[in-house]
Amino acid sequence: MLKSDLDELIEFYETEKNNLEHLIDQCIQEMDYKFARYYSKALGQVNEKLRTLKNLDDPFYDSKIKLESLKSFYEKKLINEVYESSENYFKKEISEIENRLHELNQQKSKAILDGQEFDDAIFDLAEGRIFGFKFYLKKELNFYLEFRLIEKISLSISFTPVGTVKDDYVFWKQYLRALKGLGFTFNEENDCLEYIYDLKSFKNSIFLKTFVSRILFDVYYYKDFDNPAYIEYLG
C-alpha cells in the first residue's frame, strides 16, 4: 500500500523526534547541558508538529492520548500495595477507559480539515477555477479564514477583518503572537492578519491542511470551532 503525503510527514517527524531524543541522551551523558536544552527545545517543536499531523490523521488522537495516560495512571496505582484497598475501583476505571478507547477506535468521524470539500476548494483556487473561498472556523462569530488568488501566482490566507469579528477574544495577545510566529503579518489596508503562500511550490493540499491545522491545534483549541467547518465560495 502506497503511503500518503500525511503518512510520510508523520514518519519524517517521528524519525526526527527519535534522533533528537538520542542527541539529548548523549548530551546528558556527556554533561553538555547547554546543547541538551537546545535539542529539548527543538524536540518540543517537533512534538507540536507531530501532534498537529496526528490530529489531522485522527480526529480522536488527543482524546485517545488522554485516556491512555489516565489508564497508565490507574495501572501504576493498581500494582502499588499502598492502594490495595482500592483495587476494585482501579480495575473498574481501567475497564471503562478500555471500553471508551474501543469506541473511539471504531468511529470513523472526519477531522475538521479532512474531506474532499476542502481539497476541491484548494485545487479549484490554485488552478484558477474560482476566485476564493471562506473557511469558517466559528460561523456565529463571523470568524473565518479567507483564501484568495492573487494574480494566479500567490495565495492570500487572511483572517476576518478585526473590526467585523463578533467576539474579539480570538485576537487576544497570545493568539496574535502565535499567529505571527506562523508567518502572519498585519495588513493595515484590509485590517486583517494575512499570510501569503507562493503557488509555485503548490503540488497538493497537504501543506495548506497542515498550516491551517497548526492554527486550529497549536494556536487555538480546535474543539472551540465548528465541526465540520463551513466553506463559502466567493464570487
β-pair type (154-159, 132-138): unpaired
Predicted pLDDT at 2:
43
The backbone torsions φ and ψ at residue 147, rounded to the nearest 5 degrees and listed phi first, read -105, 120
Give the tens place of pLDDT for each residue, 89-147. Answer: 889 999 999 999 999 888 765 555 555 788 888 888 888 888 899 999 998 999 999 99
CA–CA separation, 32 and 29 (whole Å)? 8
The backbone torsions φ and ψ at residue 41, rounded to the nearest 5 degrees and listed phi first, read -65, -45
Q: Where do the domains of the chain lie?
A: 1-58, 60-108, 116-233
Cell digits of residue 115: 474531506
pTM above the 0.75 mark? no
Low-confidence ranges of the chain (pLDDT < 50): 1-2
CA–CA separation, 2 and 68 (whole Å)? 29
**198 neighbors 153 (Cβ within 8 angstroms):** yes
Looking at 2.115.10, 3.30.590, 3.30.1460, 3.30.460, the CATH number of the domain 116-233 comes to 3.30.1460
